[in-house]
Structure 1
Amino acid sequence: MRDRHVAEIRALDPEVDYLRIYQLTTLYEFPFDVFLALQMSFYRTYAIPSISATLAKSGEIAARPIKRGEDTGLMVFEIVAHGFEHERSQKVLRAMNAMHKKWDISQDEFRYVLGVFLVPPMRWLETYGYRKPLPQEYAAAHRFYRELGERMGITGIPGSYAEFVDWFDAYERENLKPTVDGHTLLGASHRLFVNRFPAWLGFLGITLGNALLDDVVRDALGVTGPPAPVRWAIRGAFRLRGRVLRFFDARPESAFTPGGVTPGYPEGYTLDRLGPPGPGVR
């Protein structure tokens, strides 16, 4: 049944059962969409000059763009899959805090990056999902990232999803600007999409990635291609995919396998391999 999980989500309290709701949303209902949306939304940070400068200085994206992109998603999905108190999640959280402690990052920047994981993926589901998110899913997603942010020492987190959207949009209106660092980081990250295609079709990865960037971010990053008709066709194909999925059964089990195989980890991963070179996740 396509609505296998919808009835359960509707019956849950997002303040109490937020983890279960967010697990159903991300690991059962929309796993492909959420993982791709997380990758796409992270590109927004390249258009914030202060954040792109820090990312460029770290050198991780330029040196290991595929690993850097996958590690971010895997670390988040580890916490989603296991909950905040699980040993694996605790290790991931310690590693995340240690990584960020090295850099001079303001609370506004931390809050914005947290919002990048919340707001654009929910908007992606509104546009490309087989259905729009339920009210319980908006509230649960906000509750999950509020908890994550608090465990990372982030202050001033807006108190609801709607309030976070308002804060997020205002921050972007004031801060999105093109920079050399942002353009360079985007070029390096294109390898994430190129890696999904045979070598001779690598250009399709760049076309796909650029087409799926929303117009605000495209302008801020100085992206000019592909031509408008190609963008409309690609975005239309993703919308059509969502409509087609309405006729398929929902996943009966989680799409995420801890330690599983990914393009960047063809033999699977262990927690200690996630993150930049050094102690890793312990």
Structure 2
Amino acid sequence: MRDRDRHVTEISRLDPEVDYQRVYRLTTLYEFPFDVALALQMSFYRTYAIPSISATLAASGEIAARPVKRGEDTGLMVFEIVEHGFEHERSRRILRAMNAMHRKWDIGQDEFRYVLGVFLVPPMRWLEVYGYRKPLPQEYTAAYRFYRELGERMGITGVPGSYAEFAAWFDAYEREHLRPTPHGKALLAASHQLFVNRFPPRLGFLGVTMGNALLDDTLRRVLGVTGPPAPVRWAIRAAFRLRGRVIRLSDARQNSAFTPDGVTPGYPEGYTLDRLGPP
């Protein structure tokens, strides 16, 4: 057996209905850590194109005032739970903080359900296109079970009964609700800083170019994104697909890609759980 296949072999032997936390952890933090982190960031931009959600995000002021912290905090909270499992005390603290944050706002169950779907459906679709391999059936099921449990712990009701059903519901919701708004465009402009931070100071514009190129055409239209030109978009997307083929030739990760309390661009000295979320 090639070393590259070690996690695939384990995943294929696990029951995703029972071992979904283990399967999703392997998928997210061992098999596709870069892809999932970037896909989660990109997929969150979809919420900017839903008028009711973008209005709430704009009213909170967090993205406009602290775009890097807001973006990083969302990912760190999710990865804390992925790394430790739902019953760990760190995860329980994260969930209490998440529920407290959301109680401050009048958010409907459809909006909650959609945001839950944002963390599930687009990242799996990203892996289908840019991952070094296609997700296994067990990984779709495990990802769905993970987010269904997250939804239950957040009081989200009416979650569809499978990944396929959730994906169908998600697409139908977007067909009905995706609309351009000034809030959405402003939120995306603020969030560009997350990509700018991935490059040296004088090359920050390349981050904006990359981020805009990776948005799908529907989202680009709704959020009013015009650049970069089509040939540049094609080249950037092709480079990400090529990256997947190169990774296919490398060995599998031996350790989790996530470091609790680790260093990030927004937390150069490391974060602590009490610093995650709005002040």
Tell me which stretches of 4 or more aligned residues in structure 1 moved more than 2 Å. none
Letter in 1 for 2:196: V
Which of these residues, 25, 28, 31, is aligned with residue 27 of structure 2?
25
Letter in 1 for 2:104: K
Where in structure 2 are the equivalents of 1:1-282 lying within 5 Å? 1-277=3-279
Letter in 2 for 1:165: A
**DSSP-derived class of the 1:4 partner:** helix
Determine the C-alpha separation between the residues in 2 that align with 1:212 and 1:4. Answer: 30
The equivalent of 1:280 in structure 2 is none
Determine the C-alpha separation between the residues in 2 that align with 1:178 and 1:13. Answer: 42
TM-aligned CA deviation for residue 33 of structure 1: 0.3
Letter in 2 for 1:276: P
1:125-173: CA deviations, max 9, x gaps?
Answer: 0000000000000000000000000000000000100000000000000
Determine the C-alpha separation between the residues in 2 that align with 1:193 and 1:214. Answer: 16
Determine the C-alpha separation between the residues in 2 that align with 1:232 and 1:171. Answer: 28
List runs of 5+ in structure 1 lacking aligned partners.
Answer: 278-282
**DSSP-derived class of the 1:5 partner:** helix
TM-aligned CA deviation for residue 199 of structure 1: 1.6
TM-aligned CA deviation for residue 120 of structure 1: 0.3
TM-aligned CA deviation for residue 52 of structure 1: 0.2
**DSSP-derived class of the 1:256 partner:** coil
Letter in 1 for 2:265: P
- Give the CA RMSD over aligned residues: 0.4
TM-aligned CA deviation for residue 197 of structure 1: 1.2
TM-score of the two chains, using structure 2 as the length reference: 0.99
Q: Which moved more, 1:180-189 or 1:261-270?
A: 261-270
List runs of 5+ in structure 2 lacking aligned partners.
Answer: none
TM-aligned CA deviation for residue 4 of structure 1: 1.2
Q: Which moved more, 1:195-204 or 1:29-38?
A: 195-204
Letter in 2 for 1:28: Y
Letter in 1 for 2:95: L
**DSSP-derived class of the 1:248 partner:** coil
Give % identity.
84
TM-aligned CA deviation for residue 202 of structure 1: 1.0
